[in-house]
Structure 1
Amino acid sequence: MNPSPSPGHLKPLLWLSIALLALSAATFFIIQNGSTAPPGGHVAPVKTAWLGTVLLCWYVYPALLLADRRLQASRGLLTIFLINMLARALIELAMMYAWHSWHPWYGISHDLFSLLLCLILGAKTPAATSLLRTYFLAMAFLFAVESFFAWYMMTHISSEQGPVFYVPSDPAHFTLLLSTGVIVGITWLFLAWFTRRWLYLPQPA
């Protein structure tokens, strides 16, 4: 069996993933706002940034962390988290674009479940991989934020053209969009700190 990638190999994979996500987010923004009645409604630039950021946090980071052989003691915890998120992606995408049955309450329910799961995973993180405890706690915070965003969308945004999945660029939502931008900035500061610590973790004795 080939050994898991070392941090030296994971770093370019991370940067490549960030670049691809940025390109995908820009493409999504252009397509979503390029028609008068897109599925899910128009989306604000800062909400696109939020979507790209949580995709990075919830899918790319756990996948790369799982590939780091130094975190062997926590592979089971990372696997549980990643399976939870992959199941969410498959089910929600089908509900939104195939079955047309998605409702914000589904998102809120999974957000709260995932928040609790992250707290449990953080508590179960071995001392040998204690940096992951910080990651799980940060993800719990993001799920709390995402649940609030889903509630806001459910109670403040509607459209006669169909279900709404995103917050548009509208002065009526200025406070929410500003808050979203601040949280995105804070999240990227955390990711910069976490990545620096993670990629230079000492090898276990």
Structure 2
Amino acid sequence: MTDWHQLGAGWTQGGAAVLLMLQLLGPAFWWWQNRSPDRVGGAISALKAQWLVFVVTLWIVAPLLVIGQTEALLICWLLAGSMLLRGIIELHLCLITHSWKVSYGLAHDALQLVMTLAGLGWLITLGAPTWILFLLVLTASTVVTEIVFVSWFRTATAGPEEAIYFVPGNSEFKKINKRTAWLFLPQFTLFLVALLGALVGKEA
């Protein structure tokens, strides 16, 4: 394998293909969420829809599909389990009780970041392979980005108190969506490169 192929070495070709195909849910969710003006959560921009699918894939599905040493799997499962539990609770509070608060998400984001960095530090001392270090660095980076996005969301929308969970794509939010692209697209590109490495690296 060449160096960049190592970024996706923790996934099988089948796992990488699944992660790639899941990215198609971004446009699908954007279309579905914007079909009805009364949809819970409000309208969403195409960028925000793709970001949501990307981070759900990265934070939950990608860690569950990795193969490798026991220590790396332990960290992956711990982080994925934490996000999966948060997702279940958040969906219930958003869709059923309508009692989700931004502060809940920020508190968990902070916890997730600490866990990710602790796991990263531990695996570095163990001489862990490149792919798991890359995955954890990208995870930490996206969690920080999500915290930034939430701060923008709080100042620009009515927020969860009025069942608004997304930033729409209209001209009023053009600046936020543009800044979103600056932070989101480089990280998304790195993820796609890693998946491509997993797909072609086995023959390289």
TM-score w.r.t. structure 2 length?
A: 0.82
> Is residue 18 of structure 1 aligned with residue 20 of structure 2?
yes
Give the residue type in structure 2 aligned to 1:162. Answer: E
Matched residues in 2 for 1:197 and 1:30: separation?
Answer: 30
Moved more, 177-186 or 54-63: 177-186
Instruction: Tell me how far apart the structure 2 counterparts of residues 9 and 111 of structure 1 sit (CA, whole Å).
Output: 25
Amino acid at match of 1:99: T
Within a 5 Å distance, the mapping from 1:1-205 to structure 2 comes to 10-22=12-24, 24-65=25-66, 68=67, 70-125=68-123, 126-158=126-158, 162-195=162-195, 200=201
SS of the residue 2:12 aligns to:
helix
- 2:3 corresponds to which residue? none
Please state whether the residue corresponding to 2:32 is helix, strand or coil.
helix
User: 1:106 deviation in Å?
Assistant: 1.2
Deviation at 1:93, TM superposition (A): 0.7
Q: Is the 8 A contact 1:18 1:56 kept in 2?
A: no
Q: Is the 8 A contact 2:42 2:168 kept in 1?
A: yes
**Secondary structure at the counterpart of residue 127 of structure 1:** coil
2-side partners of 1:140 and 1:41: how far apart?
Answer: 28
Q: Describe the shift of the 1:73–1:110 C-alpha distance in structure 2 as closer, same or farther (beyond 3 A).
A: closer
Q: Post-superposition shift, 1:35?
A: 1.3
Query: For residues 185 and 9 of structure 1, what CA distance do their matches in structure 2 show?
Result: 22
Which consecutive segments of 4 or more residues in structure 1 shift more than 4 A? 196-201
Q: Indicate conservation of the 8 Å contact 1:122/1:137, yes or no.
A: yes
Q: Aligned partners of 2:71 and 2:150: how far apart in 1?
A: 34
TM-fit CA distance, 1:89: 1.0
The answer to whether the 8 Å contact 1:108/1:151 transfers is no
Contact 1:62-1:78 within 8 A present in 2 as well: yes
Q: Which has the higher contact order (CA 8 A, sep 6+)?
A: 2
CA RMSD of aligned residues (A): 2.5
| CA distance 1:63–1:150, shift in 2 (3 Å) | same
Structure-1 separation of matches of 2:10 and 2:115: 30
Task: Write the distance in 2 (CA, Å) between the matches of 1:8 and 1:142.
Answer: 19
Q: Using a 3 Å threshold, how does the CA distance of structure 1 residues 75 and 153 change in structure 2: closer, same or farther?
A: same
Q: Give percent identity, aligned residues only.
A: 21
- Structure 1 runs not aligned, ≥5 long: 1-6
CA distance in 1, matches of 2:23, 2:192: 16
Contact 1:71–1:129 under 8 Å retained in 2:
no
TM-score (norm 1): 0.82
Q: Deviations over 1:58-88 (max 9, x none)?
A: 12210111xx1x3333221112111111111
